[in-house]
A = this chain, B = another copy of it.
Amino acid sequence: MHSEIFIHPKAIVDEEVSIGANTKIWAHAHILKGAVIGENCNIADNVFIEGGAVIGNNVTIKNNCSIWNGVHIQDEVFIGPSVIFTNDRFPRSPRMPEVKERYQKEEHWLQRTLVKKGVSIGAGAIILPNLTIAPYTSIAAGALVSKSTVEHALMLGSPARLHGYVCTCGYRLIAGKCPECHKNYPELRD
């Protein structure tokens, strides 16, 4: 590991994890064996990153998020507080005799999630598995995402639906133009 990595003394970083330069891991976070985290990330309190999870560069993950095996987060993503990922569509306790066999092999139950570059996921949103969140999508706080999204989508509600488009900078587009940074998206006039 690079010497510039900051790990809070109350974080737990297991053996055999990969953490990029300038990344900060805060208190009560738990990084499990096999997790991969890029450079210049901010991993807040009580974030849990499981083996098999992959996180890119410049990612911000706020408190209480769990990033499971099967979740891949690309660069520059924002994950708000208490966002919930999932990786099983028909969960049962793996200790139940009737399903014990299913949970022996990942391919029998594990479903994946891909969060692409520049996405924001608002506080408390729930992301069902087996989908892709396209670049620069913004998921509103509390949304339940059950389908893949298009680029720059603003997704809102439960289940989440397309309610417009957002700029790379995060503001909502008005007639294809960003009111904040004035960037134009002629193809995104909704």
Mark A residues whose CB is within 8 Å of B.
Answer: 10, 12, 27-28, 30, 40-42, 45-46, 48, 57-60, 62-64, 66, 76-78, 80-82, 84-86, 90-96, 98-99, 102, 118, 120, 122-124, 126, 128, 138, 141-142, 144, 157-158, 166, 168-172, 180-181
Chain multiplicity (copies): 3
Contact B45 A48 (CB under 8 A): yes
Return chain B residues, CB-CB under 8 Å to A78. 91-93, 96
Cα–Cα, bound, A85→B81 (Å): 8
Minimum distance in angstroms from A70 CB to a CB of chain B: 13
Contact A86 B27 (CB under 8 A): no
A64's closest neighbor in chain B, by CB? B64
Q: In the complex, which of the residues A30, A138, A169 has the most CB atoms of chain B within 10 Å of its own CB atom? A: A30
